[in-house]
Structure 1
Amino acid sequence: MKITDQQRELYRTEGYMILPGVIPPAMLEMLREECSYYLGYYDSIMDAKGVQTENISHRGKRYFINNRYRLSNRLWQFIFSDLMAEVARATVGDEAYLFHEQWVVKGAEQGMKFAWHQDSGYVKWYNPTTEHKPYVTCWCTLDDVSEENGTVYLLPHSRGGTKSRIINHTKEDGTNDLIGYTGSDPGDPVIVPAGSIVAFDSFVFHRSGPNQTERMRRIYLPQYSAKPIDRPDGKPWAMATPFLKDGKNIYSHAEDAAERFGPFPETKKESVA
Structure 2
Amino acid sequence: MMTISSEQREQYQREGYLILPAVIPGDMLTMLREECSYYLGYYDSIMDAKGVETDNLSHRGKRYFINNRYRLSQRLWQFIFSDLMAQVVEATVGPTAYLFHEQWVVKGAEQGMKFSWHQDSGYVKWYDPSTNHKPYVTCWCTLDDVSEENGTVYLLPHSRAGTRGKIIDHFKEEKTNDLIGYTGDDPGDAVIVPAGSIVAFDSFVFHRSGPNRTNRMRRIYLPQYSAAPILRPDGKPWAMATPFLDHGRNVYDHTGDTADAFGPFPKMEPVIT
Q: Does the pair score TM above 0.5?
A: yes
Mapping for residues 132-151 of structure 1, pairs under 5 Å: 132-151=133-152
Aligned residue number for residue 131 of structure 1 = 132
Equivalent position amino acid for 1:63 in 2: Y
Q: Deviations over 1:208-254 (max 9, x none)?
A: 00000000000000000000001111111100000000111000001
Q: SS in structure 2 opposite 1:86?
A: helix
Comparing 225-234 with 113-122, greater Cα deviation is found at 225-234
- In the alignment, structure 2 segments of 5+ residues that lack a partner are 266-273
Report the Cα distance in structure 2 between the residues aligned to 1:50 and 1:258, rounded to whole angstroms.
31
Q: Give the CA deviation at 1:134.
A: 0.2
Report the Cα distance in structure 2 between the residues aligned to 1:24 and 1:190, rounded to whole angstroms.
20
Do residues 191 (structure 1) and 192 (structure 2) align? yes
1:258/1:128 CA distance change after superposition, 3 Å: closer
Equivalent position amino acid for 1:97 in 2: Y
Q: Give the CA deviation at 1:5.
A: 0.7
Aligned residue number for residue 215 of structure 1 = 216
Aligned residue number for residue 271 of structure 2 = none
Q: Give the CA deviation at 1:128.
A: 0.3
Equivalent position amino acid for 1:213 in 2: T
Report the Cα distance in structure 1 between the residues aligned to 2:90 and 2:79, rounded to whole angstroms.
15
Q: Give the CA deviation at 1:201.
A: 0.1
Q: Deviations over 1:153-174 (max 9, x none)?
A: 0000000100011000000000
Equivalent position amino acid for 1:161 in 2: G
Report the Cα distance in structure 2 between the residues aligned to 1:200 and 1:76, rounded to whole angstroms.
21
1:5/1:258 CA distance change after superposition, 3 Å: closer
Report the Cα distance in structure 1 between the residues aligned to 2:239 and 2:233, rounded to whole angstroms.
12
Do residues 44 (structure 1) and 69 (structure 2) align? no
Equivalent position amino acid for 1:102 in 2: Q
Q: Give the CA deviation at 1:178.
A: 0.1
Do residues 22 (structure 1) and 23 (structure 2) align? yes
Report the Cα distance in structure 2 between the residues aligned to 1:257 and 1:73, rounded to whole angstroms.
13
Q: Give the CA deviation at 1:261.
A: 9.4
Kept in 1, the 8 Å contact 2:101–2:224? The answer is: yes
Q: SS in structure 1 opposite 2:219?
A: strand
Aligned residue number for residue 243 of structure 1 = 244
Mapping for residues 113-128 of structure 1, pairs under 5 Å: 113-128=114-129
Mapping for residues 17-166 of structure 1, pairs under 5 Å: 17-166=18-167
Report the Cα distance in structure 1 between the residues aligned to 2:26 and 2:129, rounded to whole angstroms.
41
Q: SS in structure 2 opposite 1:186?
A: coil
Kept in 1, the 8 Å contact 2:242–2:259? The answer is: no
Q: SS in structure 2 opposite 1:29?
A: helix
Report the Cα distance in structure 1 between the residues aligned to 2:202 and 2:125, rounded to whole angstroms.
15
Q: Give the CA deviation at 1:258.
A: 7.0
Q: Deviations over 1:185-228 (max 9, x none)?
A: 00000000000000000000000000000000000000000000
Equivalent position amino acid for 2:119 in 1: Q
Give TM-score scaled by structure 2 length. Answer: 0.94
Aligned residue number for residue 266 of structure 1 = none
Aligned alpha-carbon RMSD (Å): 1.3
Kept in 1, the 8 Å contact 2:77–2:254? The answer is: yes
Report the Cα distance in structure 2 between the residues aligned to 1:33 and 1:232, rounded to whole angstroms.
38
Report the Cα distance in structure 2 between the residues aligned to 1:160 and 1:32, rounded to whole angstroms.
34
Aligned residue number for residue 268 of structure 1 = none
The 4+ residue runs of structure 1 with deviation greater than 4 A are 258-262
Percent of aligned positions that are identical: 81
Q: Give the CA deviation at 1:87.
A: 0.3
Aligned residue number for residue 169 of structure 2 = 168
Matched residue pairs, number? 262
Report the Cα distance in structure 2 between the residues aligned to 1:235 and 1:5, rounded to whole angstroms.
36
Equivalent position amino acid for 1:13 in 2: R
- In the alignment, structure 1 segments of 5+ residues that lack a partner are 263-273
Give TM-score scaled by structure 1 length. Answer: 0.94
